[in-house]
Structure 1
Amino acid sequence: MTQPFLQSKGTLRQQGFAELAAQGPINRLTLFTGVPVVLVTGYAEARTLLAHPDVVRSLMEGPHRDFLTEEQVRWTDRHMLLVNPPDHTRLRKLVTAAFTRRRIDELEPRIREIATELLDGIAAAGDGADLVELFSYPLPVTVICELVGIPVEHRESFRRWSSVAVNAPMHTPEEYIEASGQIVALIQELIAVKTKEPADDLLSALAAVRDGGDRLSEDELTSMIFLLMSAGHETTVNLITNGVHALLEHPDQLALLRAEPDRLPAAVEEVLRYDGPLQVTVPYFVQAPIEIAGERLEAGEVLVFALLPVNRDGRKVERPDEFDITRPDSAHLAFGHGIHHCLGAPLARLEGRIALELLFDRFPNLRPADTGEEPERPPGFLLNGIRTLPVLL
């Protein structure tokens, strides 16, 4: 069967998922990696299973695991995304104590400043621009680097390495080991510096966080920063890019947003539902038989939640394939559900709102450049983005 999340064109990707969803909310197929999986495409089924106690993560199934040493695994995979309770409960409590809502809210003035500087650069460059290269990519990268505490001189290298790390299945084991090794080396260097001389950044806060006598081990701290650095910005890049693309493709919705800017938070939620930043979740595993939607999931089966069709499930939302920022309830699972719900969702929403607000305020005549082609969706397993977004100002 064709794997829809490897298609390069957005329409084919959505059509492929829609065809699978039409067969039922639970489908069995084989990934491009050769792994047989249960693909969940129904909203109610996904929400139920993501919160089910017998649907778990496994440390044995990370990228290129057969090629990694135990030491490399400890440095990259001991974070809360890949563990289960009670370890997950402990780690999430510690990380939440450092990655607070207050810390996120305090970033708003700086995010606005960064976005304004980028828009100034776009305006100075002339009438045409690629918004991915000049705006929607550098904004989240700069934010996450400043949040974590990554020095300016390392940011271009970090961008290159993180692209390989987050798209690991699309790269060779050697490429992944090289990129992840470079990220880990940088993290360990920064941990040594921040431990001796703490700063006002997330890495220093995570290194210092305590819960009674408990704290993050060095491997857990390295893994958590690895997760933040490799995945903490890519989804926001896609949220901003997909949001701009959706609004430009639906000028009536853009006009409504301009006339009623209070709809901006709802517009961001509709972008997350309509064209979210992820195609699928990382794999889960069934640890005991589960009956759902007339199917029996057996212990040991691999579960993948297809977020694009989940968020367009016609049983949950009316007119699911229409982009409508006036929806009273843009229910979606773009940030997951259950104990692994994305901790960075508030930051992504904040960056998305600021980016869309400032971009369309700055360029009231912004319109897509007529390239004659649909924007390219890069092949990949997890991410749902657009490679380039040429516009006229």
Structure 2
Amino acid sequence: MSVTTDRPPCSAGSDADPVPGAEIYTPAFRADPFPTYARLRAERPVVKVRTPRFDSYLVTRYHDARAALSDPRLSKDLYRAGDTYLEVFGMKARQINTNMLNSDPPEHTRLRRLVSQAFTPRRIEAMRPRVEQVVETLLDRIAPTGRTDFVDDVALRLPLAVIGDLLGIPPADHEEILRGTQVIRTVGTGGRSPQEDRAAIAAAQEGLHAYFAGLVAAKRRAPADDLVSSLIAARDEQGRLSEAELVSTSFLLLFAGYQTTSDFLGNAVVALLTHPEQLELLRREPERLPDAVEELLRFDCSVPVSSFRFATEDMEIGGVPIPAGSIVTVVLSSANHDPAVTPDPERLDLTRVDVPHLAFGHGLHYCLGTALARMEATTALRRILVRLPDLRLDVGVEELLWLPAASAFRGLLELPLRFTPVPRT
């Protein structure tokens, strides 16, 4: 069986002809990857890319991508990857990656079931007042000033406060969490060498693992009404997860629960400010906001590529042979701009409805927190449109600092904005 597409297969991505990563991951690509994705979709829809640390097959067309995300032959279990995993990630990364993101059934099923109760529609709706409160508090801080670094002042703070509440992380610890996670998020910045980057990431992972091990110990001594305490009960009373899984799952829920949403908020604001006619449409017709969020997710999602998958057997994707043991990366951002699925995909159009996209993935590993992310995004954008009049970029578009291509995220290092100052509410 092979994963197929409705367009002719392309053999240009074979092992014999890998593309050096330096030809793709350029500074221009960092600022605007979509022309490169369009070229790959048209010419080399499944292509092997060579980087200094590993080779990976990029899957760029929507139908190939969607099928690959649910193909059981592509494993998420890092342990099954053996030497490949150790060469790419290093032994120390295992302690923070023993969770449902990096597992296959039945382990994935067991771990996902343990946390899914916290993300039911009813639980998410019950969190709305708290989300609204956090949004108003953050906007109150900046509204009288007339300017802000939106990433630092709002985009990072809102989802961290929300997921922190859910997990039971004390607000006093948020700055420590931010420091550690931002080292991982901003890999490739600061002029460090690749070796220094790897050392910095390893140190940040060690620190975050130690933090969550300490949080688990504190919750054992004094359980509360939060998700970490619930996971401890599942570990201690029912034996349904190991200690390593308990700590790693807590870290995963934090990082996935706030970093993806924070980067998306920045991307969405930039998309709206660089498409003023769409911004005005949303101001006139705020009832469009739920559909608008889906279009904004399609247009510039914060997770441009899936986490790695490993081929457990020889297979084909889009007519290209994928040898067993190969790393496969599904390019979600490219799939979301596939003209075979979305007409005129490079155009932001907030009037689209039922927008197909893979911003939250697909299949068994479909993002567990989609309802929470959507609720946070719609709540924040709705209030930003009201509270920050005459909102505009404080630098030229070409001056925006994007995360480097080495990062797993698509987002901004900072987002300087200006607006008409208004009093606090």
Structure 2 unmatched ranges of 5 or more: 1-19, 189-193, 420-425
Change (3 A) 1:372 1:310: closer
Q: Which amino acid in 2 is paired with 1:89? A: T
Partner in structure 2 of residue 247 of structure 1: 272
Partner in structure 1 of residue 215 of structure 2: 190
Pair 1:178-2:203 in alignment: yes
User: Contact between 1:97 and 1:209, CA under 8 Å: does it hold in 2?
Assistant: no
* SS of structure 1 residue aligned to 2:260: helix
Partner in structure 1 of residue 305 of structure 2: 280
Q: Which amino acid in 1 is paired with 2:151? A: V
Write the deviation string for residues 205-232 of structure 1: whole angstroms up to 9, x where unpaired.
2222489955222111101011122332
Partner in structure 1 of residue 62 of structure 2: 43
Structure 1: how far apart are the matches of 2:28 and 2:414? Answer: 13
* SS of structure 2 residue aligned to 1:299: coil
Write the deviation string for residues 38-94 of structure 1: whole angstroms up to 9, x where unpaired.
10000000011111111111324558767535xx62x31210000111111111111
Structure 2: how far apart are the matches of 1:68 and 1:40? Answer: 27
Cα shift at 1:202: 1.6
Cα shift at 1:238: 1.1
Partner in structure 2 of residue 68 of structure 1: 91
* SS of structure 2 residue aligned to 1:373: helix
Structure 2: how far apart are the matches of 1:95 and 1:13? Answer: 34
Write the deviation string for residues 226-279 of structure 1: whole angstroms up to 9, x where unpaired.
112233211101111111111111111111111211111111111110000012
* SS of structure 2 residue aligned to 1:291: strand
Change (3 A) 1:100 1:217: farther
User: Contact between 1:270 and 1:323, CA under 8 Å: does it hold in 2?
Assistant: yes
Partner in structure 2 of residue 91 of structure 1: 111
Partner in structure 2 of residue 392 of structure 1: 418
Q: Which amino acid in 1 is paired with 2:410? A: N
Partner in structure 1 of residue 168 of structure 2: 149
Change (3 A) 1:206 1:167: farther
Partner in structure 1 of residue 43 of structure 2: 23
Structure 1: how far apart are the matches of 2:343 and 2:254? Answer: 37
Write the deviation string for residues 335-373 of structure 1: whole angstroms up to 9, x where unpaired.
111101111121111111111001111123212224463
Partner in structure 1 of residue 357 of structure 2: 332
**TM-score with structure 1 setting the length:** 0.91
Partner in structure 2 of residue 231 of structure 1: 256
Q: Which amino acid in 2 is paired with 1:383? A: F
User: Contact between 1:281 and 1:306, CA under 8 Å: does it hold in 2?
Assistant: yes
Q: Which amino acid in 2 is paired with 1:54? A: R
Q: Which amino acid in 2 is paired with 1:390? A: P
Change (3 A) 1:372 1:20: closer
User: Contact between 2:298 and 2:356, CA under 8 Å: does it hold in 1?
Assistant: yes
Aligned length: 388
Change (3 A) 1:39 1:349: same
Partner in structure 2 of residue 360 of structure 1: 385
**TM-score with structure 2 setting the length:** 0.85
Structure 2: how far apart are the matches of 1:192 and 1:211? Answer: 12
Give the stretch that moved more between structures: 210-219 or 291-300.
Answer: 210-219
* SS of structure 2 residue aligned to 1:84: coil
Partner in structure 2 of residue 217 of structure 1: 242
Change (3 A) 1:289 1:146: same
Cα shift at 1:138: 1.3
Q: Which amino acid in 2 is paired with 1:16? A: T
Cα shift at 1:136: 1.2
* SS of structure 2 residue aligned to 1:322: coil
Partner in structure 1 of residue 10 of structure 2: none
Structure 1 unmatched ranges of 5 or more: none
Structure 1: how far apart are the matches of 2:281 and 2:348? Answer: 12
Change (3 A) 1:312 1:211: farther
Structure 2: how far apart are the matches of 1:306 and 1:138? Answer: 28
Cα shift at 1:292: 3.4
